[in-house]
Amino acid sequence: MDGNTQTLSKPKRKFGVNFNVALILILIALIAIIGAVNPTFLTYNYMMSVVVKNIMEIGLMALPMTLIVITAGIDLSVGSTMIFSAIAGGMAAASMGEGAGILVTLLVGAACGLANGLIIVKLKINALITTLATFFLFRGIAKGITHGDSVYSYEFTTYVGNKDIAGIPLVLIVFIAAAVIFTLLLSKTGFGRSLYALGLNENATRYSGINADRTLIGIYVISGVVCAIAAYFYLGRFTSVKFDVANSMNLKVVTVIVLGGTSILGGVGDMKGTIIAIFIIAVLNSGLTVMDIPIDVQTIIQGTVLIISLIVYSILGERAKRRRIIEVGKGGEPRLAGQAPA
Amino acid sequence: MAQESLKQTAGGTGGFKKILTTEFYLLIFLVAILVVMAIAAPDFYSVNTIMTVLNYFSYLLIAAIGMNIIIITSNIDVAAGSIMSVVAIVIAFVGKTGAPLPVFMLVGMAAGLILSWVNGLFITKLKIPAIVATLATTQLFVGALPLVVEGSIYDLPASFTWLAFKAKLFGVLPASVVFAAVITVGFMLFMRYSRFSKKLYAVGNNIHAATLTGINVNKVMVLAFVIAGPLYGIAGTIIATGGQRVTTTMANGFEMTLIAAVVLGGTSIAGGSGKIIGTVLGAFILSLITPAMNYIGLSSDWSDAVMGGIILLAVIVASISTLTKNKKVIITPETGQPGAIAAAAEVK
């Protein structure tokens, strides 16, 4: 607060680290409380087969969605993309064999992402609108080609959906690998920096020589591909899927990301927050079940957690902004803080 | 004057182009659907089918008008569906006692108002973006309902379903359609003549400029939600009274269709533009899709895909027309005659 420019970057970093620490503390507290009430929760078997497995598809999709939200975009079509690619792959596998199923799933996911990206970037249509329309479109095509019937798992999906390697579910291994890749991608590469830049000021970023179009289309394609990967596990886990099973998945993914501290307005956020938030939601969902708390209360608790985190982020964000204004102003007078624009 | 300039930005540069608005294209599209139906499936024009379409149209439109007003202020409400679900259960409680329509509908409107007001306060007081704020409250509303009610409220008396089965103007026209007509006309007049509606557009267009001109931005935003609430209440009442059983998930997810109707109607999600008449056309087109596809022999399995496709097509057409318009503006200075096109437009 002394107006020294050297401290300019300090509070920002501290704030980020603090928040992830707070999230981890919340996670540990939740596990401790739920474990104390019902020790079965803490058994390795329950942790792996229920707590972790139930969240992994959402977790996978939350990783690329974090990139998208950081660029001030959003992808509401993730659930539909996953179901569409699962269904298209399942049908292809049934008629043309395993290989076709695997390939079609991946291609459909990538194509969905590419369609989103092209419409958003080339036609300059708001991401919310585009992905809202494709939410209906992809789900609708899935419904149309199946006539509303179920599509069944095939050998490959059954294998990946249920495989444990050394007692660790395959899906968790894939998730950890993806989480590491995405964390490094966002925090250690120029590509990651350009995403923040796009979220903060798209025009300025374009003038700075970054190929904004290619970057943006790229992250929507990545999102589509990750949805397709999640589709393998989802189809394998449930043995059959219908077009409407993932209707609210998009909002669940958004919940995770917001809880993880990524601003929906873009430019702020990190992958570690999202990853911790995934496990908080997982522990809440499954933990409340072992405590015999009805599923409806779980929804309320999840909503309350989201609201509290929003309020905390809002207050902290407001404070950080004021602090920055004081420092930039170099006056350091507390008056300035009061005059900070809302 | 303000109205005039709004029209210009929305509709083109004048003369013939003034007619070529989003609403005009939508109307053409709507007429085309109706003509195709008349040729391909004349059975479609039976009283029963038309009334079913109109009934769905009525509650979709009533709620979509509320959503339209919220979107004009550049907010969004993804809690609309869950609010309507809450309204449905609340009025089922009241209606179970044999209370008449006016009583439980007012209760429903009040419930909608309160919940929507909470959303508005949440967004303005805590400065949380509308999409995440309403996403959070959705979970509270959806989660709270099954705690109060187990599954559904059933065996509702005839006084409860009166609106859907007995209340018909001239013996055919559902009363819900009359509600929708009155509300639509009321809001069209309101948006055209009230001073407050100008503030809605101003806030949506440029929130900082609106603040500087002395508009209480937060109040306007909260009021937009407060206006939408009772509309959700009426829509929820029409949905709930459609049968003798009211479930806790009756309108969950309906917000997506509402947003679709508003966007199809030419309202920009960025706020600051959009007309009620566009929403009317958008809602009407959406309510035609499923029944029309049934009659024409296409499987209604494809209705979701068609709906998504239509929304996408509508926004793409709108975007391309603005993109080409922007190009024209850029070309002007290069021709060495700055403002030539703008001047030409004024002459027309």
Q: What is the CATH number of the domain that holds B223?
A: 1.10.3470
Lowest mean pLDDT among A81-90, B89-98, B191-200: B89-98
Number of neighbouring beta carbons within 10 Å of residue B323: 12
Min Cα–Cα distance to chain B from A104, Å: 19
E strand residue ranges, B110-264: 152-153, 168-169, 173-174, 246-247
Strand partners, B169: B173
pLDDT at B144 over 70: yes
pLDDT at A8 over 70: no
Which of B180-194, B299-313, B321-335 has the largest mean confidence? Answer: B180-194
Is B342 among the domain residues? Answer: no
pLDDT at B319 over 90: no
Q: How far is CA A284 from CA A32, A179, A220, A256, in A?
A: 12, 21, 29, 12
> Higher confidence at residue B220 or residue B143?
B220
Which of A167-176, B120-129, B339-348 has the largest mean confidence? Answer: A167-176
User: Average pLDDT of chain A?
Assistant: 84
> Higher confidence at residue A242 or residue A49?
A242
pLDDT at B327: 62
Chain B's closest residue to A141, CA to CA, is B305
pLDDT at A332: 43
Lowest mean pLDDT among A71-75, B105-109, B130-134: B130-134
Chain A's closest residue to B271, CA to CA, is A126
* Partner-chain contact A132 B256, CB within 8 Å: yes
Domain region containing B232: 47-315
Say if residues B221 and B123 touch (Cβ distance below 8 Å).
Answer: yes
Is B29 among the domain residues? Answer: no
Average pLDDT over every residue of B20-32: 83
Say if residues A124 and A130 touch (Cβ distance below 8 Å).
Answer: no
A139: contact with B, CB 8 A cutoff = yes
Q: How confident is the model at residue A197 (pLDDT cuts 50, 70, 90)?
A: very high
Chain A's closest residue to B140, CA to CA, is A300
Average pLDDT over every residue of B299-317: 82
pLDDT at A17: 55
pLDDT at B301: 80
* Partner-chain contact A140 B307, CB within 8 Å: yes
Q: Name chain B contacts of A300, Cβ cutoff 8 Å.
A: 139-140, 143-144, 147
Domain layout of chain A by residue ranges: 5-337
What is the DSSP pairing of strand A164-165 with strand A168-169? antiparallel
pLDDT at B111: 93
Is B322 among the domain residues? Answer: no
Q: The tokens of A25 are what?
A: 């503390």
pLDDT at A176 over 80: yes
Query: CA nearest B84: which of B104, B53, B109?
Result: B109
pLDDT at A100 over 50: yes
* Partner-chain contact A258 B135, CB within 8 Å: yes
Q: Name chain A contacts of B218, Cβ cutoff 8 Å.
A: none
pLDDT at B345: 41
pLDDT at B191 over 50: yes
CA A129, CA B313: separation in Å to the nearest integer? Answer: 12
Is B35 among the domain residues? Answer: no
Q: How far is CA B76 from CA A39, A232, B326, in A?
A: 43, 33, 27
Is B17 among the domain residues? Answer: no
pLDDT at B100: 83
pLDDT at A229 over 90: yes
Local structure of B268: helix, strand or coil: coil
Is B26 among the domain residues? Answer: no
CA A292, CA A37: separation in Å to the nearest integer? Answer: 10
pLDDT at B159: 75
pLDDT, tens digit, for every residue of B230-284?
A: 999 999 999 988 877 888 878 877 888 898 899 888 888 888 888 899 999 999 9
Which of B270, B302, B320 lies closest to A126 in CB terms? B270
Query: CA nearest B134: which of B116, B118, B119?
Result: B119
B289: contact with A, CB 8 A cutoff = no
> Higher confidence at residue B58 or residue B252?
B58
Lowest mean pLDDT among A123-137, A295-309, B332-346: B332-346
* Partner-chain contact B140 A297, CB within 8 Å: no
Q: How far is CA B272 from CA A202, B71, B138, B245, in A?
A: 21, 8, 25, 40
pLDDT at A203: 86
Which of A130, A255, A314 lies closest to B135 in CB terms? A255
pLDDT at A46: 83
Angle at B106 between CA B101 and CA B107, to 5 degrees: 100
Local structure of B127: helix, strand or coil: coil
B298: contact with A, CB 8 A cutoff = no
pLDDT at B302 over 50: yes
CA B49, CA B174: separation in Å to the nearest integer? Answer: 12
Show the DSSP H helices in B297-336 as ranges. 303-334
pLDDT at B228: 94
Q: How far is CA B181 from CA A128, B61, B178, in A?
A: 30, 9, 5
Lowest mean pLDDT among A93-102, A176-185, A328-337, B172-181: A328-337
Q: Give the distance, in angstroms, between the CA of residue B104 and the centroid of all CA atoms in the same chain.
A: 23
pLDDT at B57 over 60: yes
Q: How confident is the model at residue B326 (pLDDT cuts 50, 70, 90)?
A: low
Q: How confident is the model at residue B181 (pLDDT cuts 50, 70, 90)?
A: very high
Q: How far is CA B91 from CA A174, B82, B251, in A?
A: 48, 14, 14
Query: CA nearest A80: which of A148, A153, A140?
Result: A140
pLDDT at A6: 42
E strand residue ranges, chain B: 152-153, 168-169, 173-174, 246-247
Lowest mean pLDDT among A118-122, A285-289, B29-33, B281-285: A285-289
* Partner-chain contact B129 A264, CB within 8 Å: yes
10 Å CB burial of residue B338 (0-12, 13-18, 19+) is exposed
Position A338, amino acid: G
Say if residues B38 and B45 touch (Cβ distance below 8 Å).
Answer: yes
Is B83 among the domain residues? Answer: yes
* Partner-chain contact B139 A306, CB within 8 Å: yes
pLDDT, tens digit, for every residue of A249-298?
A: 887 898 899 889 888 888 888 899 999 999 998 988 888 778 777 777 77
Share of chain A above pLDDT 70, in %: 87
pLDDT at A5: 41
pLDDT at B130: 87
Is B117 among the domain residues? Answer: yes
Local structure of B266: helix, strand or coil: coil
pLDDT at A108 over 90: yes
pLDDT at B230: 95
pLDDT at B210 over 70: yes
Position B71, amino acid: I
Position B238, amino acid: I
Which of A135, A264, A302 lies closest to B131 in CB terms? A264
User: Average pLDDT of chain B?
Assistant: 81
Angle subtended by helix axes B195-205 and B217-240, to nearest 10: 110
Min Cα–Cα distance to chain A from B250, Å: 15
B195: contact with A, CB 8 A cutoff = no
pLDDT, tens digit, for every residue of A131-171?
A: 888 988 999 899 989 988 899 999 899 998 888 888 889 99
Say if residues B174 and B55 touch (Cβ distance below 8 Å).
Answer: yes
* Partner-chain contact B305 A143, CB within 8 Å: yes
Ramachandran angles phi, psi of A201, nearest 5°: -160, 100
CA A294, CA A241: separation in Å to the nearest integer? Answer: 25
CB-side exposure of A188: number of CA atoms within 13 Å?
7
pLDDT at B304: 80
DSSP state of B22: H
Characterize B268-296 residue by residue with b for buried, 16 or more Cβ atoms within 10 angstroms of its Cβ, and e for exposed: bbebbbbbbbbbbbbbbbbbbbbbbbebe
Which of A132, A248, A300 lies closest to B259 in CB terms? A132
CATH for A5-337, among 1.20.1300, 1.10.3470, 1.25.40, 1.10.1740?
A: 1.10.3470
Strand partners, A240: A152
B202: contact with A, CB 8 A cutoff = no
A245: contact with B, CB 8 A cutoff = no
The number of distinct structural domains making up chain B is 1
CA B144, CA B157: separation in Å to the nearest integer? Answer: 25
Predicted model pTM: 0.79
Q: Name chain B contacts of A306, Cβ cutoff 8 Å.
A: 132, 135-136, 139
Q: How confident is the model at residue A115 (pLDDT cuts 50, 70, 90)?
A: very high
* Partner-chain contact B136 A128, CB within 8 Å: no
